[in-house]
Amino acid sequence: MYTTASEAEALIVSLKSLFFDLQQADVAVCPPFPYLMLASKALSGSRIGLGAQNMYWEPEGAFTGEVSPKMLKDAGCEFVIVGHSERRQFFGETDASVNKKVLKALETGLKPIVCVGETLAERESGKTEHVVETQINGCFRDLSADGMKAVTVAYEPVWAIGTGKTATPEQAQDVHRFIRGLLCGAFGKGTGESIRIQYGGSVKPDNAKLLLSQPDIDGALVGGASLKAESFAAIVRAAV
């Protein structure tokens, strides 16, 4: 929940200039709802994709304050983040509600970026794998292998979001490998190995290369470091 309209547009203009010839990495931005139409126009002519930070699972109706997947498509979105830890922490989202959003996003032609991850208390009590497995099973209930091909999974340890703490590359890789195994088991080896699994949690230019060099870390869900074009660009360059 950052930027004014003019700041959002300036950020996109800066990113376009930095990524004008980008071919080796997929990049998308997910601004707040009021700036989606502005962002869509500003991104015209670039290879940078557009996503939203959340959605509701109904196409329309008396759901005051919510935004539908149909509205997101109309605003130019290709992606939507669902189940972010802050949505779970502050707004009561559950695996069941995330599952509804994933299914409806896919039905509407949006590509969901689905967040999973444990709290500090859960990690310290040795429950990381149990928590993540429960989230994976709940969030992807009733999805087909074909549907999963359009999904990105984002592992974001809650204890590393906005805290300045970051999972070590080894810690992150351990969980990513575990998630990869769950996806292969649930949707088949070919599909499981092809699904993009991002890491999110205080990703910065100085730690991005080590994180992204891990075999099962396919990208980053960038938070605070995406608010400045140069730091976001440095993370993209690390990915390349």
Q: Which single residue is written with the structure tokens 């969980």?
A: 175
pLDDT given at position 215: 97
- In sequence order, the 6+-apart residues with CB closer than 8 A to the CB of 144 are none
**CA separation for the pair 75, 228 (Å, rounded):** 24
The secondary structure of residue 120, as a DSSP letter, is H
**CA separation for the pair 192, 181 (Å, rounded):** 7
**CA separation for the pair 23, 8 (Å, rounded):** 24
Dmax of the chain from CA atoms?
A: 49
pLDDT given at position 171: 94
Percent share of the chain, pLDDT over 70? 100
Q: Both tokens of residue 106? A: 């896919």
pLDDT given at position 82: 98
58: annotated active-site residue: no
Domains of the chain: 5-239 (3.20.20.70)
How long a stretch of residues is the chain?
240
Options 118, 122, 156, 176, the catalytic residue: 156
Model confidence at 106: pLDDT above 80: yes
**CA separation for the pair 129, 133 (Å, rounded):** 6
Model confidence at 29: pLDDT above 80: yes
By DSSP bridging, strand 219-220 and strand 28-29 are unpaired
Model confidence at 206: pLDDT above 90: yes
Options 84, 93, 122, 176, the catalytic residue: 84
Model confidence at 164: pLDDT above 90: no
Question: Beta-strand (E) ranges in the chain?
Answer: 28-29, 49-52, 79-82, 111-116, 152-155, 196-199, 219-220
In this prediction, residue 21 has a pLDDT band, given cuts at 50, 70 and 90, of confident
CA angle 222, 228, 231 (to 5 degrees): 65
pLDDT given at position 130: 98
Model confidence at 211: pLDDT above 90: yes
The mean predicted confidence, pLDDT, of the chain is 95
**CA separation for the pair 220, 115 (Å, rounded):** 12
Three-class SS of residue 220?
Answer: strand
Q: Which single residue is written with the structure tokens 């497995």?
A: 133
**CA separation for the pair 11, 31 (Å, rounded):** 10
156: annotated active-site residue: yes
CA angle 109, 101, 37 (to 5 degrees): 55
pLDDT given at position 167: 85
Q: Which single residue is written with the structure tokens 């205080």?
A: 202
